[in-house]
Amino acid sequence: MAKDAVAAGEVDQFLASLDNRASATEGYGPLFKTFAWEWFETCVEDSSLTESEQDTTRFTIKNHLVPEFGKLPIGEIDTRRIDRFKSKKRKQRHQYGTGYSAKSINNMLSVLHRVFDKAIEYSMIEHNPVTTRSWMKVDSSESSRPWWTPDEEAKAFAVLESWKESDPTARITILTQLMTGIRFSELRALRKEDLDLQIPALHIRRSQARRMVGPTKNKKARIQVIPQALADELREHMLRIPGQLLFPGRTGGALANNVLNRLYTKLCDEAEITRITSHGVRHTAGSSYAYLGAGNKSIATLLGHENMASSERYTHMRADGTPDLVAARWARLSGEKDQ
């Protein structure tokens, strides 16, 4: 258009039209990407929110909200555009498949709602386009991430045995999380000093959600009992690796979540079972103990829950408790006789 204006000798008219266009959008406030990042830097970054919550908010703005709304003035974003955004996310391809869950989309909407609330506070807009009707209904099937049935767990365990020679480090890392059900943030923060060969057990004292090392999720240290055979393997593993971390990344630092999840994808494909992430292994461990007869209290202790209510979802198979749950589970998966 600029070249056409020069050729026609209408530069003044062209510049005037640009001025009119700018003035027409002045009442709609700053561009969304400008205001969203300002909000993040002033209201989220270095706030009382946890490091994980800050990183999740940053990721949501960068990868979901700015690509969709970034070039629009905040005053032009209405409920209709919000609905179109939700529809697009329901169909969008991502690393775990096609279409984001209602729960994931609601998390995006939550960040968006907070951005617009601050714009209202600054008198930039009058209404929040993310209304009470914007939130999507979460189906019960979306309430937790995929997990393995006892049969699938046994198939995964069998494939892990075949990794003993080909990739022993990956095997022992996954095997430890599979048997304990500890959170990934706790797994990557484990140090060699946390392995107790006498009980045998792992001392869960700290977690590392992102970069910072801090206390566990419920701020309480605990002892995680492990099978003797696993303790023996961990002792050999500990002597093979340098540094003080029990499960370091390839460069010696903390193990990255995407690295572990890629290993789970490889394991699931080889075992021909449901694809899960490291979080799904935690649900798997809880369900596996319930299958063996553990009650809410036992599962809460085994998984490090702050209260038994968090464990109720796992006891859909059997309610009665049984002794020596850890040894019994190891025996079922490994084929070894319970000692």
d(CA 100, CA 275) in angstroms, rounded, equals 16
Token readout for 58 is 């940053």
Q: Which one, of 253, 264, 258, lies nearest residue 211 by Cα?
A: 253
Low-confidence ranges of the chain (pLDDT < 50): 2, 18-25, 142-143, 307-323, 338-339
Give me the pLDDT at residue 214, please. 83
Q: Among 3.10.20.30, 1.10.443.10, 1.10.3720.10, 3.30.980.10, what is the CATH number of 150-334? A: 1.10.443.10
CA 276 to chain centre: 12
Give me the pLDDT at residue 296, please. 77
Q: What pairs with residue 195 in β-bridges?
A: 202
H or E element: which one contains 228? helix 228-240
d(CA 173, CA 250) in angstroms, rounded, equals 13
CB atoms within 10 A of CB 119: 22
Residue type, 192: K
Q: What pairs with residue 79 in β-bridges?
A: none
> What does DSSP assign to residue 225?
E
> What does DSSP assign to residue 256?
P
H, E, C per residue of 27-77? HHCCEHHHHHHHHHHHHHCCCCCCHHHHHHHHHHHHHHHHHHHCCCEHHHC
H or E element: which one contains 222? strand 222-225
Q: What pairs with residue 140 in β-bridges?
A: none
Report the greatest alpha carbon distance in the chain.
Answer: 94
User: How many C-alpha atoms does 158 have within 13 Å on its Cβ side?
Assistant: 12
Q: Which residues, 6 or more positions from 188, have their beta carbon under 8 angstroms from its beta carbon? A: 208, 245, 247, 254, 255, 257
Q: What pairs with residue 207 in β-bridges?
A: 214
CA 110 to chain centre: 16
d(CA 156, CA 271) in angstroms, rounded, equals 6
d(CA 205, CA 188) in angstroms, rounded, equals 12
The whole-model pTM stands at 0.63
Give me the pLDDT at residue 147, please. 87
CA distances from 218 to 186, 248, 276, 289, 305 (A): 12, 24, 24, 21, 8
Question: CATH for 24-142?
Answer: 1.10.150.130
Residue type, 138: V
**Annotated domain spans of the chain:** 24-142, 150-334
Q: Which residues, 6 or more positions from 237, have their beta carbon under 8 angstroms from its beta carbon? A: 168, 169, 172, 246
H, E, C per residue of 87-151? HHHHHCEECCEECCCHHHHHHHHHHHHHHHHHHHHCCCCCCCCCCCCCCCCCCHHHCCCCCCCHH
